[in-house]
Chain A
């Protein structure tokens, strides 16, 4: 959930693959006395800096009944503080020729600015200010609540594919907050109050729950001095709760759902399985699943495309998605968009046949080599993406991974063997731990 949305949309961009990590950039880390982590990534190609502050608090850390409050608070952080008027934060960034925004996910909330490198101190002064000094009014709450409801309209309620994905997630997670949408359920969003927002703020916004990531044309020692000056003086919150969440029970029954909507033009089948995530020092299974997703549904040469789009055309589009960057168990997802005249039932059967055929045949070693070559190349291409560097480190550290884990990841991917992939696939593809959904036109008869 971004605070504001660039005017573009990708229909099937469900989960971006976690490719493209590299150990080649110079990274320096510190920990301030109050517990705030500091990561500095140098890139001196242009005199630009990006500051990101990540809080280890996302929608999955909310208490029941106030879904959407993490994201609501993210919006409210642009309102007044003891030292800034409402809206002034972004005004000052813009008046310095910079850009700023924020986003909320299940596991974290992050704020960032991109600006000329010599403006870093001003950005730190403002960002540290709103960690503790927010001053909200009732009218802020009412107006901004309308904004997030319109955001939910735009992202979700106006889009049957989003509504369907929301139902798929809710079916997948019985007991974990990943089953609740980041933006919140509408009926709970409508009642979010000043107290709800301040309670989340008071609990989670403190230096010992935050990570500062500064990337760009900077000197690490100078960043550290500034960080001490602005963030180092903020006291740690001694009552910060330990990050323990309710966990999923073993899934023992396959779940199915159908979602019908008159606005659906192109029906499709979606399948998800509960899957392990990347853990500190233990990323091998996630690496195998990352390669498996690429192998099954990463484009024209993938197994599902071969079977369903070329050999025996039943689908206009197929895909497989896995992103291991998650604090708790995540999902491995597949999608089959049937060709004209192919029913959802036939499409689902074709998917299951293809998966069975993959388990039977095993890994195509040439394909594995091609995927590894692309992973190596993506490290080179990733060095060109200045914006992505802060994102890569921040999103990892916010879910408990270390800088070492981030830097090891490319090697862990390269070390994945055919046996690893097939073992991961056997562990993953158990019918009783699946969720299968049909997105349908509301005129269709369920077969």
Chain B
């Protein structure tokens, strides 16, 4: 700060941009609950469904089944084959998206008010009467395998998969939810049906809706859409034994820029220190230009285009990870700077100014996320999956504000573990050796 803005800076106290978000809890006759934000100014609704479990529900030897199943839900349902289904969806101008991640399968729908009933009837067929036709299975399987082949030569994916294996071992988290070419090739139609039955059940469903719909309409919609799903699905996988140890893993790959994934054991979202750890990570490595990692690795030394870290509080095993990429002759220096910052933060903590700036950013940026029906629906359903209360949106910033310098510095001291920070490098890194045991 040289000359300008002084008066303005003094005025900056958290006055968050606050959208009026009135979240209602809706419970249907059949007992299905959903969170709703009514927003009638645009004639459409965004609907989000999440089913806990995700690709971690894959049965032994069937890795990739949940992912392939989710990809097949739009490929024919009810009376309609894949092409007829796609044409019908286009006529209605609805959009349905199906995704599978480690901890959940998501169904994201947007539909116009003018043909809501027809759109929902079509969506319902994908959840109640999926066809899994053999020709669709073969076609989509070939697409998934093509992707897996590309992944096998993509340094980013190679590094990510290798880190997961080191962190999670035999737990489903330890391998890619997309499966391998071998497992996906061997999947049968019965495996896909099993994966479907494992996931789609009422004991694990979370719903949110944002848009041009009333509580009464949503309540009826819930029973119609998912009321006939079975009560229970497959058991959850159980906790992973996360024990990340220090050292480097080097995977030889001929490409000009090395890609590194670094990380240590993480922290569960339910942990009392999670907010303090979240603020700590904001200062160390979260995305923006102000983080210590960006300042040290990029702004001061020009070693990378991007470096970031994030808490990954997966349900069955949290980790704390980050990524950086640098040309092969400079990656060793980038990794060393990151290791040094890890140690420095643990030993010396953060300053009051760093803490204040991080909190101002986090509390100010939070409401900016609530911009659009689809985006809000996604946030609301994630809150439910994570077990957060319905008033979390209005209490979250106060919790962030309550984090003190002592909290952050204590968490940095107790939680950061530079000795056990493991780094996976994919490329031809100069001056980096794999440590023994990897």
- Residue positions of A touching B, CB distance < 8 A: 4-7, 9, 11, 45-48, 78, 82-88, 90-92, 94-99, 114-118, 121-122, 125-126, 129, 142-151, 153-154, 157-158, 262-266, 299-301, 306, 309-310, 313, 316-317, 337, 339-340, 370-371, 373-374, 376-378, 380-381, 383-387
- Residues of B within 8 Å of A337, CB to CB, are 146
The answer to whether B41 touches A265, judged by C-beta atoms less than 8 angstroms apart, is no
Interface check B182, CB cutoff 8 A: no
Q: Which of B301, B325, B366, B372 has the most CB of A within 10 A?
A: B372
The answer to whether A90 touches B146, judged by C-beta atoms less than 8 angstroms apart, is no
9 smallest beta-carbon distances between A and B, as pairs: A97-B364, A146-B302, A377-B93, A116-B17, A153-B257, A46-B19, A300-B86, A151-B305, A143-B302
Interface check B317, CB cutoff 8 A: no
B368 CB to nearest chain A CB (Å):
6
A142 and B110 CA atoms in complex are apart in Å by 48
| Interface hits, B115-147 → A, CB 8 Å | 139, 142-143, 145-147
A148 and B298 CA atoms in complex are apart in Å by 10
Q: Which of A146, A262, A317, A386 has the most CB of B within 10 A?
A: A146
B234 CB to nearest chain A CB (Å):
29
A191 CB to nearest chain B CB (Å):
16
A95 and B110 CA atoms in complex are apart in Å by 35
- Residues of A within 8 Å of B295, CB to CB, are 87
A266 and B144 CA atoms in complex are apart in Å by 12
Q: Given A9-B156, A92-B5, A143-B300, do A157 and B357 touch, yes or no (CB 8 Å)?
A: no
Name the residue on A nearest B211 (C-beta): A384
30 A-B pairs with C-beta separation under 8 A: A5-B306, A45-B39, A46-B370, A87-B299, A88-B1, A92-B5, A95-B361, A97-B14, A97-B17, A97-B363, A116-B15, A116-B16, A126-B5, A129-B4, A142-B302, A143-B301, A144-B302, A149-B327, A150-B305, A150-B327, A153-B257, A153-B325, A154-B306, A300-B82, A300-B83, A337-B146, A340-B142, A383-B42, A384-B44, A386-B372
- Residues of A within 8 Å of B110, CB to CB, are 381
- Residues of A within 8 Å of B361, CB to CB, are 94-95, 97
The answer to whether B142 touches A48, judged by C-beta atoms less than 8 angstroms apart, is no
- Residues of B within 8 Å of A4, CB to CB, are 287, 289, 305-306
Interface check B78, CB cutoff 8 A: no
- Residues of B within 8 Å of A377, CB to CB, are 93, 112
- Residues of A within 8 Å of B300, CB to CB, are 143
Q: Given A87-B299, A266-B146, do A97 and B86 touch, yes or no (CB 8 Å)?
A: no
The answer to whether A97 touches B4, judged by C-beta atoms less than 8 angstroms apart, is no
| Interface hits, B12-26 → A, CB 8 Å | 12, 14-19
The answer to whether A150 touches B257, judged by C-beta atoms less than 8 angstroms apart, is yes
Partner of A370, one of B87, B139, B147: B87
Name the residue on A nearest B156 (C-beta): A9
A7 and B306 CA atoms in complex are apart in Å by 9
- Residues of A within 8 Å of B367, CB to CB, are 46, 48, 116
A157 and B151 CA atoms in complex are apart in Å by 17
Name the residue on B nearest A117 (C-beta): B17
The answer to whether B304 touches A7, judged by C-beta atoms less than 8 angstroms apart, is no
A301 and B74 CA atoms in complex are apart in Å by 13
Interface check B281, CB cutoff 8 A: no
The answer to whether B153 touches A96, judged by C-beta atoms less than 8 angstroms apart, is no
16 more A-B residue pairs beyond the given contacts A384-B372, A387-B371, with a C-beta to C-beta distance below 8 A: A46-B367, A47-B17, A91-B289, A97-B363, A115-B17, A154-B305, A301-B86, A309-B139, A340-B142, A370-B90, A371-B90, A380-B42, A380-B43, A380-B112, A381-B44, A384-B44
A184 CB to nearest chain B CB (Å):
14
Name the residue on B nearest A366 (C-beta): B87
Over the window 286-303 of chain B, the binary record of Cβ atoms lying under 8 Å from chain A Cβ atoms (1 yes, 0 no) is 011110000100111111
Q: Given A125-B4, A300-B82, do A157 and B19 touch, yes or no (CB 8 Å)?
A: no
Interface check B230, CB cutoff 8 A: no
Over the window 72-111 of chain B, the binary record of Cβ atoms lying under 8 Å from chain A Cβ atoms (1 yes, 0 no) is 0000000000110011001101010000000000000010
A121 CB to nearest chain B CB (Å):
8
Over the window 257-276 of chain B, the binary record of Cβ atoms lying under 8 Å from chain A Cβ atoms (1 yes, 0 no) is 10100000000000000000
Partner of B153, one of A92, A121, A265, A381: A265
Over the window 302-336 of chain B, the binary record of Cβ atoms lying under 8 Å from chain A Cβ atoms (1 yes, 0 no) is 11111010000000000000010111000000000
The answer to whether B87 touches A301, judged by C-beta atoms less than 8 angstroms apart, is yes
A371 and B86 CA atoms in complex are apart in Å by 12
The answer to whether A316 touches B142, judged by C-beta atoms less than 8 angstroms apart, is yes
The answer to whether B18 touches A263, judged by C-beta atoms less than 8 angstroms apart, is no
A384 and B43 CA atoms in complex are apart in Å by 10
- Residues of A within 8 Å of B147, CB to CB, are 11
A177 and B147 CA atoms in complex are apart in Å by 33
Q: Given A158-B325, A266-B149, A380-B44, do A339 and B308 touch, yes or no (CB 8 Å)?
A: no
Partner of B146, one of A45, A151, A157, A317: A317
A325 and B154 CA atoms in complex are apart in Å by 31
- Residues of B within 8 Å of A83, CB to CB, are 2-5
Interface check B436, CB cutoff 8 A: no
The answer to whether A158 touches B44, judged by C-beta atoms less than 8 angstroms apart, is no
Q: Given A157-B256, A263-B255, do A46 and B325 touch, yes or no (CB 8 Å)?
A: no
Partner of B155, one of A126, A158, A299, A376: A158
Q: Which of B17, B257, B295 has the most CB of A within 10 A?
A: B17
A412 and B87 CA atoms in complex are apart in Å by 24
Name the residue on B nearest A301 (C-beta): B86
- Residues of A within 8 Å of B15, CB to CB, are 116, 118
The answer to whether B365 touches A47, judged by C-beta atoms less than 8 angstroms apart, is no
Name the residue on A nearest B373 (C-beta): A384
Name the residue on A nearest B113 (C-beta): A380
A300 and B87 CA atoms in complex are apart in Å by 8
Name the residue on B nearest A149 (C-beta): B327
Partner of A158, one of B43, B255, B304, B370: B255
Interface check B360, CB cutoff 8 A: yes
Partner of A90, one of B44, B91, B289: B289
Name the residue on B nearest A91 (C-beta): B290
- Residues of B within 8 Å of A384, CB to CB, are 42, 44, 46, 372-374
Partner of A145, one of B154, B259, B290, B302: B302
A319 and B254 CA atoms in complex are apart in Å by 30
The answer to whether A85 touches B2, judged by C-beta atoms less than 8 angstroms apart, is yes
Partner of A146, one of B82, B259, B303: B303
The answer to whether A45 touches B19, judged by C-beta atoms less than 8 angstroms apart, is yes
The answer to whether A264 touches B153, judged by C-beta atoms less than 8 angstroms apart, is yes
A282 CB to nearest chain B CB (Å):
28
The answer to whether B325 touches A94, judged by C-beta atoms less than 8 angstroms apart, is no
The answer to whether A96 touches B93, judged by C-beta atoms less than 8 angstroms apart, is no
Interface check B152, CB cutoff 8 A: yes
- Residues of B within 8 Å of A82, CB to CB, are 2
- Residues of B within 8 Å of A373, CB to CB, are 90-91, 93
- Residues of A within 8 Å of B368, CB to CB, are 48, 97-99, 114-115
B257 CB to nearest chain A CB (Å):
4
Q: Given A301-B87, A381-B44, do A158 and B257 touch, yes or no (CB 8 Å)?
A: yes
